[in-house]
């Protein structure tokens, strides 16, 4: 993720990543009490463009607010610092990771110091570009009455890591978590869509992270005249779907081959997911939506 020359942004300053430090008594380290984002920058014909920069930083600030971490930067400042960071590191396409973390405090209580760091590195498609096999996790997503599920909180990712390890141990590529009531929720780091009879379906908000890519897929569906519905869907709906895909900033749009070893009948090439994958990549690269990739 970094080498000797990598520069990161920490609390108003650009520093060498190898020399930046964190207090070992940080509340974030001990309790997972922090918030973060995952953002991508794409090399377009008009130079490097951070995709949905404002939306991501707005969500970062919202996440901090939801869990009561006071934070004073504005979205505009954060976007500007991020473009500077990319320039300093000579990055034209990259993954960007801002993290708001807390200073030393062993109390299970409000933060008394708050910091931000932003780093960036070149990162290919997170789940690869092949179709993936999916395992129905034995872990459910955190219940919305247990936490602020719509916030991107560090501590939530223990649940994601457990699900991901379990799926890989069972020989699958990725996990699919249900919510605590047994309805389809999301992957450890991506949202789910599935296709049935020419229409798309996706789990409703309430038990998932409302993804920025998910919102982009809704916009693309509108533009491409694809019907998409949100609801509470049982795993059987996914088992009987024609095709399915995940979407997220890191994963982009990735096709799913099978769910619990049952292979989806529709060829990926012929699916709405494939069409949206093409449109998404064209959108982030600022090209014609249905241009050949
Ligand atoms: N769900 C979870 C749990 C995630 O971590 C992510 C990645 N941020 C997503 C969904 C997709 O969100 P986005 O499209 O905003 O990256």
Compute the distance between CA of residue 24 and CA of residue 82 in angstroms, rounded to an integer.
26
Residues 6+ apart with CB under 8 A from 247: 190, 191, 193, 211, 213, 214, 216, 217, 253, 254, 276, 280
- Under 8 Å between Cβ of 70 and 80: no
Tokens read off for 102: 């807390």
Compute the distance between CA of residue 53 and CA of residue 35 in angstroms, rounded to an integer.
16
- Which entry of 49, 81, 152, 275 is annotated as an active-site residue? 152
What does the pLDDT look like over 249-275, one tens digit per residue? Answer: 999 999 999 999 999 999 999 999 999
Q: Is 172 exposed, middle or buried (0-12, 13-18, 19+ CB in 10 A)?
A: buried
Active site residue 87: no
Note the helical H segments in the chain: 27-31, 53-66, 75-88, 157-169, 212-223, 235-239, 272-284
Tokens read off for 153: 């909180």
- In this prediction, residues 33-55 reach a mean pLDDT of 97
152 CA distance to ligand 1 centroid (A)? 8
Q: Is the CB of 98 under 6 A from ligand 1?
A: no
What does the pLDDT look like over 112-129, one tens digit per residue? Answer: 999 999 999 998 876 767
Residue 41 — φ and ψ, nearest 5°?
A: -115, 135
Compute the distance between CA of residue 281 and CA of residue 84 in angstroms, rounded to an integer.
24
Residues paired with residue 153 on neighbouring β-strands, in sequence order: 35
Q: Would you give the distance in Å from CA 228 to the centre of its chain?
A: 20
Cα separation of the two ends of the chain: 28
User: Which pairing describes strands 94-102 and 35-36: parallel, antiparallel, or unpaired?
Assistant: antiparallel
Per-residue b or e along 33-64, where b marks 16 or more CB atoms closer than 10 Å to that residue's CB = bbbbbbbbbbeeeeeebbbbbeebbebbbebb
Residues comprising the chain, all counted: 293
What is the per-residue pLDDT for 173? 97
142 secondary structure, DSSP code: P
Compute the distance between CA of residue 50 and CA of residue 42 in angstroms, rounded to an integer.
6
150 CA distance to ligand 1 centroid (A)? 10
Q: Is the CB of 97 under 6 A from ligand 1?
A: no
Intrachain domains 7-121 and 132-284 with the same fold: no
What is the per-residue pLDDT for 290? 87
- Please state the pTM of the whole predicted model: 0.97
What is the per-residue pLDDT for 280? 97
Residue nearest to atom 10 of ligand 1 (CA): 190
**Level-2 CATH architecture, domain 132-284:** Alpha-Beta Barrel (3.20)
Compute the distance between CA of residue 100 and CA of residue 68 in angstroms, rounded to an integer.
12
The CATH class of the 7-121 domain is alpha beta
Residue nearest to atom 2 of ligand 1 (CA): 189
- Comparing CA positions, the residue from 60, 40, 28, 72 lying closest to residue 151 is 60
154 CA distance to ligand 1 centroid (A)? 13
Atom of ligand 1 lying closest to residue 37 CA: 8
Residues 6+ apart with CB under 8 A from 248: 38, 126, 187, 189, 190, 191, 211, 213
Q: Is the CB of 202 under 6 A from ligand 1?
A: no
Banded pLDDT at 67 (limits 50, 70, 90): very high
Domain residue spans in the chain?
A: 7-121, 132-284
* Helix, strand, or coil (residue 10): strand
What is the per-residue pLDDT for 262? 97
Per-residue b or e along 87-123, where b marks 16 or more CB atoms closer than 10 Å to that residue's CB = eebebebbbbbbbbbbeebeeeeebeebbbbbbbeee
Note whether ipTM > 0.85 here: yes
Banded pLDDT at 293 (limits 50, 70, 90): confident
What does the pLDDT look like over 181-208, one tens digit per residue? Answer: 999 999 999 999 999 999 999 999 999 9
Q: Is the CB of 60 under 6 A from ligand 1?
A: no
The answer to whether the Cα torsion of 37, 42, 48, 53 is positive or negative is: negative
């Amino acid at each position: 993720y970094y080498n000797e020359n990598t520069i990161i942004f920490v609390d108003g300053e650009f520093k060498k990543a190898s020399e930046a430090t964190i207090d070992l008594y940080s509340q974030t380290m001990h309790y997972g009490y922090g918030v973060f984002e995952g953002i991508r920058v794409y090399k377009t014909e008009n130079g490097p463009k951070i995709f949905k920069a404002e939306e991501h930083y707005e969500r970062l600030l919202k996440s901090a607010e939801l869990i009561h971490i006071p934070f004073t930067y504005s979205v505009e400042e954060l976007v500007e610092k991020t473009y500077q960071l990319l320039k300093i590191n000579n990055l034209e396409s990259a993954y960007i990771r801002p993290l708001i973390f807390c200073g030393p405090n062993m109390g299970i209580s409000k933060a008394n110091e708050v910091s931000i760091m932003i780093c960036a590195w070149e990162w290919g498609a997170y789940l690869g570009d092949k179709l993936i096999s999916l395992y129905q996790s034995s872990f459910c997503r955190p219940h919305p009455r247990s936490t602020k599920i719509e916030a991107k909180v560090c501590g939530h990712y223990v649940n994601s890591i457990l699900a991901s390890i379990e799926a890989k141990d069972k020989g699958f590529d990725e996990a699919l978590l249900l919510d605590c009531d047994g309805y389809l929720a999301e992957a450890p780091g991506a949202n789910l869509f599935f296709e049935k009879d020419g229409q798309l379906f996706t789990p409703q908000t309430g038990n998932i992270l409302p993804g920025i890519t998910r919102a982009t897929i809704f916009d693309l569906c509108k533009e491409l005249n694809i019907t998409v519905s949100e609801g509470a869907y049982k795993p059987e709906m996914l088992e009987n779907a024609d095709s399915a895909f995940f979407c997220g900033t890191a994963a982009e749009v990735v096709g799913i081959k099978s769910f619990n070893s049952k292979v989806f009948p529709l060829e990926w090439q012929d699916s709405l997911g494939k069409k949206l994958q093409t449109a998404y990549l064209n959108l982030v690269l600022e090209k014609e939506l249905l241009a050949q990739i």
